[in-house]
Amino acid sequence: MSAPALPALRFVPAASLVLHEDADPRRVEKLVERLRAEAILRNPPIVASMGDARYVVLDGANRVSALRALAVAHPVVQVVDYDQVELSTWNHLVTGLNWTAFFDALRAVPGVRLTPTTLLTARETLVRRRCLAFVVSPSDEVFTLDNGSSFEDSARLLLGISNIYRGDGAIHRIRLDSVRTLSGMYDRITAILVYPRFTHQDILDLARADARVPTGITRHIIPGRVLRLNLPLTGLADPRPLAEKNAWLDALVRDKFANHSVRFYAESTYSFDE
pLDDT of residue 1: 45
Q: Are residues 189 and 95 in the same domain?
A: yes
Mean pLDDT, residues 232-260: 88
DSSP state of 215: T
The total domain count for the chain is 2
Mean of the per-residue pLDDT values of the chain: 92
Residue 203 domain-assigned?
no
List of residues 6+ apart from 24 with CB closer than 8 A: 62, 166, 215, 216
Among 179, 194, 209, the domain-final residue is 194
Residue 229: CATH number of its domain: 3.90.1530.10
Backbone torsion region of residue 254, taken as left when φ is above 0, otherwise alpha when ψ lies between -120 and 50, otherwise beta: alpha
Q: How many CB atoms lie within 10 A of CB 23?
A: 21
Q: At what angle do helices 99-107 and 151-165 cross, to 10 degrees?
A: 150
Q: Are residues 108 and 188 in the same domain?
A: yes
pLDDT of residue 39: 93
pLDDT of residue 75: 95
Mean pLDDT, residues 216-220: 94
Residues 27-59 pLDDT 10s? 999 999 999 999 999 999 999 999 999 999 999
Q: How many CB atoms lie within 10 A of CB 150?
A: 11
Q: Are residues 180 and 98 in the same domain?
A: yes
Q: Are 203 and 178 in contact (CB under 8 A)?
A: no
Of 241, 258, 246, 207, the closest CA to residue 48 belongs to 207
Residues 123-169 pLDDT 10s? 999 999 999 999 999 999 999 999 999 989 999 999 999 999 988 88
Q: What are phi and psi of 159, to 5 degrees?
A: -65, -40
What residues make up the domain containing 95? 91-194
Among 194, 209, 229, the domain-final residue is 194
Q: Are residues 129 and 186 in the same domain?
A: yes
Split at pLDDT 50, 70, 90, the class of 267 is low
Mean pLDDT, residues 69-92: 95
pLDDT of residue 261: 81
pLDDT of residue 260: 81
pLDDT of residue 256: 86
pLDDT at 234 over 90: no
Residue 3 domain-assigned?
no
Q: Cα 60 from chain centroid? A: 7
Q: Are residues 160 and 247 in the same domain?
A: no
Q: Are 60 and 24 in contact (CB under 8 A)?
A: no
